[in-house]
Chain A
Amino acid sequence: MTQDTSVDEIQSQALGALGAIDDIRKLDEWRVAYLGRSGRLTSVLRGLGALPPEARREVGQRANMVKSVLEKALEEKEEVLRQAELQRSIEGGKLDITLPGRRPNRGRLHPTTQVVREICDAFVAMGFQIVEGPEVEWDYYNFEALNIPKDHPARDMWDTIWIDPPSESEKPMLLRTHTSPMQIRVMEKTQPPVRVVVPGKVYRYEATDATHESQFYQVEGLAVDTNITFAELKGTLYEFARRIFGTERKVRFRCDYFPFVEPGVEMAIDCFACGGRGCRICSNSGWIEIMGAGMVHPEVLRHVNYDPEIYTGFAFGLGPERIAMLKYGIDDIRLFYSNDLRFLYQF
Chain B
Amino acid sequence: MKISLNWLKEYVDITLPVDELAHRLSMSGTEVGGVTHIGGMWDRDKVLVGQIVRLDQHPNADRLRLATIDIGGEQNTVVCGAWNIAEGDKVPYARVGARLIDGHSGEPAVLKSAKIRGVTSEGMICSEKELGIGEDHTGIMVLPEDAPVGASLLDYMGDVILDLDLTPNRPDCLAVLGIAREVAAITGRQVREPSLAYSESGESVSDLASVEILDPDLCPRYCASVVTGVKIGLSPRWMQQRLMALGMRPINNVVDITNYVMLEYGQPLHAFDYDRLVDHHIIVRRARPGEKMTTLDGLERDLTEENLLICDGGGSVALAGVMGGLDSEVTESTVNVLIESANFNNISIRRTSARLHLRSEASLRFDKGLSPELPMYALKRATQLMVELCGGSVAQGVIDIYTGKTEPASIHFSAAQVNRILGADMGLGEIEGVLKALGFECTEVRKGTGVEDPRSVGAELSVTPPYWRTDVRIVEDIAEEVARIVGYDNLPMSPLSGSVPRYEPDLERELREKVRNLLVDAGLQEVLTYSWTSLVNLGKLSRPEGLSGQPLKVFNPMSLEQEYLRTTLRAGLLSTLALNERHYGASSVNIFEVGSVFMPTEGDLPREQMMAAGIMTGDVLTKSWDRSATAVDFYDVKGVIDALMDGLGMVPDYSPVEDGDLLAGRTAAISITGSRIGVFGEVHPQVLERFDASSRPVYLFEIDLAAVFAQQRTPNRYQSIPRFPDVVEDLAVVVDTSTQAQMVMEIIMRSPIVSSATLFDIYEGPQVPPGKKSLAYSITYRAPDRTLTGEEVASIRSRIISQLERELGGTLRS
A contact residues vs B (CB 8 Å cutoff): 99-100, 102, 104-110, 112-113, 117, 126-127, 129-132, 134-138, 151, 153-154, 156-157, 161-164, 166-167, 169, 173, 175, 190, 193-195, 201, 203, 205-207, 214-215, 223, 225-232, 234-236, 238-239, 252-257, 259, 262-265, 295, 297-298, 312, 336-342, 344-345
Per-residue A-contact encoding for B595-611, CB less than 8 Å = 1, 0 else: 11010111101101000
Q: Can you list 28 contacts pairing A with B, beta carbon distance less than 8 Å?
A: A107-B525, A109-B526, A113-B528, A117-B513, A130-B506, A135-B531, A136-B565, A151-B346, A151-B347, A156-B168, A161-B558, A161-B562, A175-B531, A206-B558, A215-B530, A225-B499, A227-B420, A229-B421, A234-B494, A235-B493, A262-B476, A264-B29, A297-B476, A337-B529, A338-B579, A340-B580, A341-B586, A341-B589
Q: Are B603 and A109 in contact, CB atoms less than 8 angstroms apart?
A: no
Per-residue A-contact encoding for B608-626, CB less than 8 Å = 1, 0 else: 1000000000001000110
* B501 in contact (CB, < 8 A): yes
Nearest-CB distance from A270 to chain B (Å)?
12
Q: Are A131 and B506 in contact, CB atoms less than 8 angstroms apart?
A: yes
Q: Which of B574-589 contact A (CB under 8 A)?
A: 576, 579-580, 584-586, 589
Nearest-CB distance from B481 to chain A (Å)?
9
What is the bound-complex CA distance between A230 and B417, given in angstroms? 13
- Say what secondary structure dominates the interface of chain A: mixed
Q: Are A151 and B530 in contact, CB atoms less than 8 angstroms apart?
A: no
Q: Are B350 and A232 in contact, CB atoms less than 8 angstroms apart?
A: no
Q: Are B29 and A295 in contact, CB atoms less than 8 angstroms apart?
A: no
Q: Are B584 and A161 in contact, CB atoms less than 8 angstroms apart?
A: no
Q: Which of B506-544 contact A (CB under 8 A)?
A: 506, 509, 513, 516-517, 519-532
- Looking at the complex, which of B447-455, B548-556, B667-675 is the stretch in contact with chain A? B548-556
* Additional 17 contacts, C-beta under 8 A, given A231-B492, A257-B169, A257-B170: A105-B620, A109-B517, A109-B526, A127-B501, A137-B605, A153-B368, A162-B555, A162-B556, A194-B501, A229-B422, A230-B423, A236-B496, A252-B489, A263-B480, A337-B530, A339-B528, A344-B526
Chain B residues within 8 Å of A131, by CB: 506
* B284 in contact (CB, < 8 A): no
Q: Are A138 and B605 in contact, CB atoms less than 8 angstroms apart?
A: yes
Q: Are A231 and B493 in contact, CB atoms less than 8 angstroms apart?
A: yes
One of B168, B493, B520 near A154 (C-beta < 8 A): B168
One of A132, A153, A226, A239 near B350 (C-beta < 8 A): A153
Chain A residues within 8 Å of B480, by CB: 255, 262-264
Nearest-CB distance from A19 to chain B (Å)?
45
Chain A residues within 8 Å of B516, by CB: 109, 113
Chain B residues within 8 Å of A263, by CB: 421-422, 476, 479-480, 483-484, 488
One of A206, A239, A342 near B584 (C-beta < 8 A): A342
Q: Are A153 and B168 in contact, CB atoms less than 8 angstroms apart?
A: yes
Chain A residues within 8 Å of B496, by CB: 126-127, 195, 223, 228, 232, 235-236, 239
Residue of A nearest to B523 (CB): A105
What is the bound-complex CA distance between A259 and B473, given in angstroms? 13
What is the bound-complex CA distance between A210 and B602, given in angstroms? 38
One of B493, B509, B553 near A163 (C-beta < 8 A): B553
Nearest-CB distance from A332 to chain B (Å)?
15
Chain A residues within 8 Å of B517, by CB: 109
Q: Are B605 and A173 in contact, CB atoms less than 8 angstroms apart?
A: yes
One of B167, B424, B554 near A162 (C-beta < 8 A): B554
B contact residues vs A (CB 8 Å cutoff): 26-29, 31, 167-170, 346-347, 350-351, 367-369, 420-424, 474, 476-477, 479-480, 483-484, 488-489, 491-501, 503-504, 506, 509, 513, 516-517, 519-532, 549-550, 552-558, 562, 565, 576, 579-580, 584-586, 589-591, 595-596, 598, 600-603, 605-606, 608, 620, 624-625
Q: Are A130 and B369 in contact, CB atoms less than 8 angstroms apart?
A: no
Q: Are B624 and A102 in contact, CB atoms less than 8 angstroms apart?
A: yes
Residue of A nearest to B589 (CB): A341
Q: Are B520 and A265 in contact, CB atoms less than 8 angstroms apart?
A: no
Q: Are B483 and A136 in contact, CB atoms less than 8 angstroms apart?
A: no
What is the bound-complex CA distance between A344 and B590, given in angstroms? 12
What is the bound-complex CA distance between A163 and B531, given in angstroms? 13
Given the contacts A107-B526, A129-B501, A238 and B562 also touching, CB distance less than 8 Å: no
One of B168, B503, B553 near A164 (C-beta < 8 A): B553
Chain B residues within 8 Å of A195, by CB: 496, 500-501
What is the bound-complex CA distance between A110 and B555, given in angstroms? 30
Of B496, B497, B532, B586, chain A has the most CB atoms within 10 Å of the CB of B496
Nearest-CB distance from B655 to chain A (Å)?
28
Chain B residues within 8 Å of A341, by CB: 525, 580, 584, 586, 589, 591
Of B517, B565, B595, chain A has the most CB atoms within 10 Å of the CB of B565
Chain B residues within 8 Å of A175, by CB: 531, 554, 565
Nearest-CB distance from A124 to chain B (Å)?
10
